[in-house]
Amino acid sequence: MTRPILYSFRRCPYAMRARLAIAEAQIACELREVVLRDKPAEMLTASPKGTVPVLITHNGVIDESLDIMLWALRQNDPNGWLDVPDSGWTLIKTFDGPFKAALDHTKYASRHPEIDTSQERAKAVSLLTKLDEDIGTNPWIHGETIKISDMAIINFVRQFAMIDKAWFDTQPLPNVIRWLDGYLASTRFTSMMQKYPQWHPGDPITAFPG
């Protein structure tokens, strides 16, 4: 293995945040795009739990997305993403936990017939209301520059917004909407979301970042 191998799925928010950090750190990896209904045996051997992202490094396997972000940024953090206040880490825990649960209960309502979808959507909006207050007039959560807390949670917010973007854009969340829309219009987002074909053994190496 000449470089770390990253198993990824383009639209998965966990894989997205891993790719964002690897791209920010400019660590050369071999990207292997997977189809979740057809997971490669090589990925399952490395990480039997079968979720993306999975990063195979020279020192072992990392199969939690936040750990991959930290692995990358601790090697090279050119813009100080890790220089984040304690509130940033608390925010990540909130969005990885209660917000993600409310998001899933809203987006995949048919899987949870016992749960009131409207209540779950309201829970998500409540957390976004607090985030809106935190952002204020800043371009990013903690001020003028991106931190890990921005890039760790923004794709979950994107996923929630895209359930019904027209509805989302009418919510009293002006700072969150501005923050999200700025990210979606950025080259950081578009380059990270480049499409790749499904990986198969024997395929030519796909370098990431490209």
Q: Give the phi and the psi of residue 22 in degrees, each rounded to 5.
A: -65, -40
- How far apart are the C-alpha atoms of 189 and 37, rounded to whole Å? 25
CATH 1.20.1050.10 domain locations along the chain: 86-189
pLDDT tens, position by position, 148-158: 999 999 999 99
CATH topology of domain 5-79+193-208: Glutaredoxin (3.40.30)
C-alpha closest to that of 181 among 172, 195, 169: 169
CATH topology of domain 86-189: Glutathione S-transferase Yfyf (Class Pi); Chain A, domain 2 (1.20.1050)
- How far apart are the C-alpha atoms of 149 and 179, rounded to whole Å? 13
pLDDT tens, position by position, 90-128: 999 999 999 999 999 999 988 888 899 999 999 999 999
Mean predicted lDDT score pLDDT of the chain: 97
- Strand-strand pairing, 29-33 and 54-57: unpaired
The reply to whether omega before 40 is within 30° of 0 (cis) is no
Q: What is the pTM for the complete model shown? A: 0.96
